Amino acid sequence: MTRLTTLNLPHLNKATIGFTQMFDQMERQFANSPNGNGYPPYNIEQVNDDEFVISLAVAGFHMDDLDITKDDNVLSIEGTMPEADEKATYLHKGISSRKFNREFTLADHVEVKHASLELGMLYIDLVREVPESLKPKKIAINGSKVLNHKK
């Protein structure tokens, strides 16, 4: 039987964009659940209500080593490093050079606006673009005209 405490809500919150209020509430309820960081480390910044930036630490990766795809509401970032020099003799090897695949679930209407690689950091700019037809509409209240209703 699976215990509810095995659900990693903080990690799930970090892997989704645009569900902030729901996950904030769930995270408060399960504040003691474990947090698995994984590789590569990343940040998710909320710039405003409709803009977000995902930053991944991808030191050693070139643009040609990285692949970003969006399929439906899933954003995938994959990194593949070329084979390391087998002739090197390391006294200490603390810099990871492994491939990775990091996925983020995006809320409806969240799109990738831009991606850039700068000083070992991959930045992915996201924007929520809700179509006008789906936005709430303000209904004006006019005067005191009463419709003729039959009872």
Cα torsion at 44, 61, 72, 113 (round to 10°)? 60
Q: How confident is the model at residue 149 (pLDDT cuts 50, 70, 90)?
A: low
Q: State the DSSP code for 150.
A: -
The CATH number covering residue 56 comes to 2.60.40.790
> What mean pLDDT comes out for the span 39-49?
91
35 belongs to a structural domain = yes
Q: What per-residue confidence (pLDDT) applies to 6?
A: 47
Task: Tell me how crowded residue 118 is: count the other CB atoms within 10 A of its CB.
Answer: 8
pTM: 0.65
Q: What per-residue confidence (pLDDT) applies to 43?
A: 93
Cα–Cα distance between 83 and 65 in angstroms, integer? 12
Q: What per-residue confidence (pLDDT) applies to 124?
A: 97
Tokens 């509401």 locate to 73
114 belongs to a structural domain = yes
Q: What is the mean pLDDT of the chain?
A: 78
Cα–Cα distance between 75 and 54 in angstroms, integer? 11
43 belongs to a structural domain = yes
Number of domains in the chain: 1
CB within 8 Å of 149: residues ≥ 6 apart: none
Q: Which residue has the higher pLDDT, 28 or 85?
A: 85
68 belongs to a structural domain = yes
Q: What per-residue confidence (pLDDT) applies to 86?
A: 72
Distance, CA of 142 to chain centre: 44
Residue 124 is part of which domain span?
Answer: 4-129
Cα–Cα distance between 146 and 35 in angstroms, integer? 60
Q: What per-residue confidence (pLDDT) applies to 25?
A: 47
34 belongs to a structural domain = yes
